[in-house]
Structure 1
Amino acid sequence: MAFQTIAAELQKLVADWTETLESLPPQTIADRRNGQDRSIRQIVGHMVDSASNNTHRVVHLQYRESPVEFPNYSTYGNNDKWIAIQNYQEEDWQLLINYWKYAHLHFCHLIQNINLEQLDQQWHADTNQFVSLKEMVEDFPRHFKLHIAEIEELLNQQ
């Protein structure tokens, strides 16, 4: 998938979901919990972390020697530590939506400007696991949609 296409898809999802997120009642975003015991607030916060971490990876992978040693915040429960330490459950909702929106829009801008000569650069994601810049960017929409689906599931709870 071309990075322009990925960016356009993400930009549309962000535009569509910004309105949805802004319309949610406070109790819904705070109280409903998914199988990971995350509220909608916490899922959105995790998505901010994901956009931020992936932004750093994309930048580092374009100038550092491969493979890049970069912490994988999503393994060993570290992403839950990020959520707790940043206390997304108590973050101002409108600010959190804006962080989410603009972190993803910036990521879209960034991937449209990737040096294509660096696509094979890799980061050391985990023990014996290496992920190329190309693979990482191409997988980002799947991860984004996974969390949107979690939010949708919580919204559909009775």
Structure 2
Amino acid sequence: MKSKAIIDDINEVMNREIPLLLSLSDEQVSIKRNKQNRTVKMLVGHLIDSASNNHQRIVRLQYAPRCGHSMPNTEMGMLVFPDYTQDNDLWIQLQDYQHEDWQQLVMLLKLYNQHICHVIRSVDKTKLNNYWVDYEGCRVTLDAMICGYINHLNLHFEQIHELL
């Protein structure tokens, strides 16, 4: 893992996107919906949820006694990550991002990603091959998860730009 490059990429996205997000009106972030029926507010909320879930995984995969797992009926002692992938629309709904204060939502996204960068910078490099098994049964290493985080950010910022 090239943590400096990943951190630089995350910071570059945040430095580019946060000022744009803060400049948007309530109408721009609350009305128009994409094909997944998500507004800009909901997409930003989803990015916060993604940061939250990945934060847990990054930290826990460094000390878990066994690999993480999101499959039912796992061995005792195995770290279990809930299947957030299948529930992310429910997360958006239950947290009511559509009615959250926009400025606070954007600042939370910014600050959470700053913290993610700090956590990535502090990762124990000997733990990068620790893995969890996702809901489809695929092994995901800590390294691959960290490296893939920027792709997820970019994907959803592309969706945000399509709505503007």
TM-score in terms of structure 2 length:
0.90
Given that residues 71 and 125 in structure 1 are in contact (C-alpha distance below 8 angstroms), is that contact kept between their aligned partners in structure 2? no
Q: Distance in 2 between matches of 1:3 and 1:49?
A: 22
Counterpart in 1 of 2:96?
87
How far has the Cα of 1:142 moved from its partner? 0.5
- 2:119 aligns with one of 101, 105, 110: 110
How far has the Cα of 1:72 moved from its partner? 2.5
Return the letter of the residue paired with 2:5.
Answer: T
- 2:81 aligns with one of 70, 76, 94: 70
Q: Distance in 2 between matches of 1:107 and 1:147?
A: 17
How far has the Cα of 1:99 moved from its partner? 0.9
How far has the Cα of 1:74 moved from its partner? 1.3
The 3-state SS of whatever aligns with 1:74 is helix
Q: Distance in 1 between matches of 2:140 and 2:19?
A: 33
Q: Distance in 1 between matches of 2:131 and 2:151?
A: 19
Query: RMSD of the TM alignment (CA)?
Result: 0.9
Paired residue total: 153
Deviation beyond 6 Å, 4+ runs, structure 1: none
How far has the Cα of 1:29 moved from its partner? 0.3
Return the letter of the residue paired with 1:71.
Answer: P
Asked if 1:97 corresponds to 2:106, the answer is yes
Given that residues 4 and 112 in structure 1 are in contact (C-alpha distance below 8 angstroms), is that contact kept between their aligned partners in structure 2? yes
The 3-state SS of whatever aligns with 2:134 is strand
Unmatched 5+ residue regions in structure 2?
Answer: 69-79
Counterpart in 1 of 2:18?
18
Return the letter of the residue paired with 2:57.
Answer: R
Q: Distance in 2 between matches of 1:66 and 1:19?
A: 41
The 3-state SS of whatever aligns with 1:22 is helix
The 3-state SS of whatever aligns with 1:144 is helix
Q: Distance in 2 between matches of 1:124 and 1:86?
A: 27
How far has the Cα of 1:25 moved from its partner? 1.3
The 3-state SS of whatever aligns with 1:102 is helix
How far has the Cα of 1:111 moved from its partner? 0.5
Question: What does residue range 5-84 of structure 1 map to in structure 2 within 5 Å?
Answer: 5-68=5-68, 69-75=80-86, 78-84=87-93
